[in-house]
A and B are shown apart, each in its own frame.
Chain A
Amino acid sequence: MSDALTHDRIWRHRTPRAQLVLWLFWLIVVALFIYCWNVMTARTMWVFVHDAPQAAQDLGSRMLPPRWDYMSRLWKPLWDTINIATLGTLLGVVMAAPLAFLAAQNTTPSRLIARPCALFLIVASRSINSLIWALLLVSILGPGLLAGILAIAFRSIGFVGKLLYEAIEETDIKQVEAVTATGASQAQVLNYAIIPQVLPTFYGISVFRWDINIRESAILGLVGAGGIGTQLQASLNVLAWPQVTMIILVILATVVISEWISARVRHALI
């Protein structure tokens, strides 16, 4: 009897209640989407959107072929871009490392003052994009490489700091105890027990960030912070599309190469 009853029930993917919640969720998402879409497109000029295929064709015919001989004038900006990324990463890492030690629960000197301050600096640095940092710094320091380097450095602090302090918090306590047992001072514990454990991670994070920074430094010039983006902005301003294509190809190649280098180095480290 009971057998027959249990077999009577049809298997379903979800319980009715879960199904209802799911439908409600989708209803909310769709409603919110429609609302947001209407607000967003209220000021859209649909004429331009309808023209887009033609505009794309037009743009494509102007962009191709790329102006290959423009390359001779791109080497210097490219070198600048790499310098912005590398020096910016170095500067950022130098500032991030002490911050990470202040922010990690097991190494922070004071949980009440130093840790929240360090955490706030890390979050603030992370929530402002490097292009916005560059915008600010260009407006303060004037256009040039220095603004770019500082922008990259300030943005890197948050990224490196966050990953590094998480790595420090995950270090093995046994090694710390072993070193402490020899009568080592606080600084010696840090130097001999914690730093060796996080060093590979630290290098890995730095190289990873360097790779991201190459990408970002390529566009910083759009707001005047030096590098190849400056050429991009100049070419865009005079609508020299073949040059724009060339610059974008160079940026793409640089990004791919830096990604390859960073993958190789990180592979060797781990």
Chain B
Amino acid sequence: MTAAYPTTWRRPPQLIRDRRWRLVLTVGAIAYLILAIGSVEVNWTRMVEGWERGLRFIGGFLQPDFTTRWRDISTGLVESLTMTFTSTVVGILISIPVGIGAARNIAPRWLYPICRSIIAVSRAVQEIIVAIFFVALFGFGAFAGFLTLTFATIGFIAKLLAEDIEDINESAAEAIRATGAGWWQLINYAVQPQVMPRLIGLSLYRLDINFRESAVIGIVGAGGIGGTLNTALNRYEYDSAGAILLIIIAIVMLAEYLSSHLRRWVR
């Protein structure tokens, strides 16, 4: 009567139960990898040349040169910082009505699709492509960058704000409605207090993102520290480039630290 008691244990498959599917997926993945890696051409002589340059870059990173190009760096930095702040403020001011219009529970029916499509367009196009167009239209400089970042902020904040408004506690809105409040009063007394902490948090987060992006869009001529970095790298001045990168990393870290603290404080 000694039933064969299992003495070994095998871990059950963790993701895909069906064996055939696993086989197909594995074979497919391997085939793709072979094809993909095969299409990567590596120029080894260029790589060896680059090695020495890479070492020089690391050297520049370890011994950054803040002084030689300080005038360029500080102009770029000031442009980046002012661009970040103004675009975040304007972007949020525009995205609040758009976000309210894109919240299904309080927006008029005809407004909803319009606001949703504004959000979709703003989110689908990469900042750098938007920047290319704004530079073409408004000329080189920080103003094009400001418009780009504003445009990108609208999609981000409005979408998250709309989702937040759709998730509000309906009973508070019901209570305000029961007092005979109009639409504006409903927004002001029922919706606004519920979404405000999160809106502040999102704004701080976006400020942080906008600074990072402002370091990038300069590459296509939209002002800011990115342009300075691009120039430094084109001139192979790795010590100045190292200094700029260190400044960017330091500001991003500081902004992240401050904004996470502020967000905790707001909550």
Report which A residues bind B (CB closer than 8 A): 13, 29, 32-33, 36-37, 39-41, 43-45, 48-49, 52, 55-56, 59, 79-80, 83, 86-87, 123-124, 126-129, 131-132, 135-136, 139-142, 144-146, 149, 192, 196, 199-200, 203, 215-216, 218-219, 222-223, 236, 248, 251-252, 255-256, 269
Contact B50 A59 (CB under 8 A): no
Is A142 in contact with B39, judged by CB distance below 8 angstroms?
Answer: no
Q: What residues on B are CB-neighbors of A83 within 8 Å?
A: 36, 39-40
B220 touches A222 (CB 8 A): yes
Contact partners of B133 in chain A: CB under 8 A: 59
A230 to chain B, nearest CB (A): 13
Interface positions of B from 178 to 229, Cβ below 8 Å from A: 188-189, 212-213, 215-216, 219-220, 226, 229
Q: Is the CB of A139 within 8 A of B215?
A: no
Whether the Cβ atoms of A87 and B37 lie closer than 8 Å is yes
Per-residue A-contact encoding for B227-255, CB less than 8 Å = 1, 0 else: 00110010010000100010011001100
**What is the CA–CA distance of A136 and B215 in the complex, to the nearest angstrom?**
14
Candidate in B57, B86, B212 with the most chain A CB atoms within 10 angstroms: B86
Q: Indicate if the CB atoms of A127 and B252 lie closer than 8 Å.
A: yes
Instruction: Tell me the smallest distance from the CB of A116 to a CB of chain B, in Å.
Output: 13
Query: Once the chains bind, are A43 and B141 in contact (CB under 8 Å)?
Result: yes
> Is the pair B212, A87 in contact by a Cβ cutoff of 8 Å?
no
Enumerate chain B residues within 8 angstroms of A149, measured Cβ to Cβ.
40
Given A36-B85, A40-B142, A135-B230, verify A141-B46 contact (CB < 8 Å).
yes
Choose from A48, A79, A128, A142 the contact partner of B248 (Cβ within 8 Å): A128
**Distance between B10 CB and nearest chain A CB, rounded to angstroms:** 12
Residues of A within 8 A of B49 (CB): 142
Judge if B23 is at the interface, Cβ distance under 8 Å. Answer: no
Contact assessment for A129 and B216 in the assembled complex, using a CB-CB cutoff below 8 Å: yes
Q: Mark B32-57, 1 if CB is under 8 A from A, else 0.
A: 10001101111100110110011001
Give B84's nearest chain A residue, CB to CB.
Answer: A36
Q: Find out whether the CB atom of A40 lies under 8 angstroms from the CB atom of B41.
A: no
20 sampled A-B residue pairs with Cβ under 8 A = A29-B89, A33-B85, A33-B86, A40-B79, A44-B142, A44-B143, A59-B133, A83-B36, A128-B245, A129-B213, A129-B216, A131-B128, A131-B216, A139-B236, A141-B47, A141-B54, A145-B40, A149-B40, A216-B126, A255-B124
Give Cα A32 to B136, complex, Å: 29
